[in-house]
Amino acid sequence: MKLQAVLFDLDGVIMDTAEFHYIAWKRLAEELGIAIDREFNENLKGISRMESLDTILRHGGKADDYSAEEKRDMAERKNSHYVSLLDRLKPADVYPGIRELLLALREAGIPAVVASASKNAPQILRALELSELFRFVVPPDSVPRGKPAPDLFLRGAEEVGAAPEFCIGIEDAQSGITAIKAAGMTAVGIGSEAMLKAVGADVVLPDTRRLSLEFLRGLLSA
């Protein structure tokens, strides 16, 4: 089997922006009198800004306390804080192995795609000087459903003319692994083996160090 495309999640796979999202949500939640911790934060990974806010409000028993406009303001407040944390991003912040993998993919003519729920993805890729290494960044609003639905991954594969069964998706979130498997692709998890295998990851690595083109090709020929 021949590898036709690799689809990357961004936050928590390309760099540590998952932590910035957590810090920004925690600050907003505190303003609202809602306590969140890292364990709860796992539920927020991979899902959109507004869905994350709704999940936090439900968690705090405040699901019906705010108008749509108030919720939009809260989401904007969280985003401003998040974007201010991005201020100091630099190319050296890319996780180990990622730039090397992207260069190897380009050399081999295999498209790399970003399939992230984040509307901030293009800005982050620019700051990390990675934009030219991706053939396509799926605009999150271009698909009807976010993760755990397969839409973002299917749209990315379609754009670069790749068949899902010859694609590999890389994710740190349970919702993302579920989305990759629902798209009919091979799923590589980055993070906790127990958590990501539980939702169907084909293989889980503790971090990005061991990700290489050779490793990914080996998964498809296994």
Which residues of this chain interact with Mg ion, rule CB under 5 A? 9, 11-12, 172-173
Nearer to ligand BG6 (CB atom), residue 4 or residue 120:
120
Query: What is the nearest approach in angstroms of ligand BG6 to the Cβ of residue 218?
Result: 27
Q: Strand 167-171 and strand 136-137: pairing?
A: unpaired
Nearer to ligand BG6 (CB atom), residue 32 or residue 104:
32
Query: What is the nearest approach in angstroms of Mg ion to the Cβ of residue 190?
Result: 8
- Is the sign of the CA dihedral 215, 94, 127, 172 positive or negative? positive
Q: Strand 167-171 and strand 5-8: pairing?
A: parallel
Q: In DSSP terms, which residues pair with 15 in a beta bridge?
A: 11
Length of the chain: 222
Footprint on this chain of ligand BG6 (rule: CB under 6 A)? 10-11, 18, 21, 44-46, 48-49, 52, 79, 116-120, 173
- The entry of Mg ion, ligand BG6, none that residue 116 binds, CB within 5 to 8 Å by partner kind: ligand BG6
Q: In DSSP terms, which residues pair with 159 in a beta bridge?
A: none
Q: Say if residues 31 and 22 touch (Cβ distance below 8 Å).
A: no
- Quote the DSSP letter at residue 66: S
Nearer to ligand BG6 (CB atom), residue 48 or residue 192:
48
Query: What is the nearest approach in angstroms of Mg ion to the Cβ of residue 11?
Result: 4
Give catalytic residues, as residue numbers: 9, 11
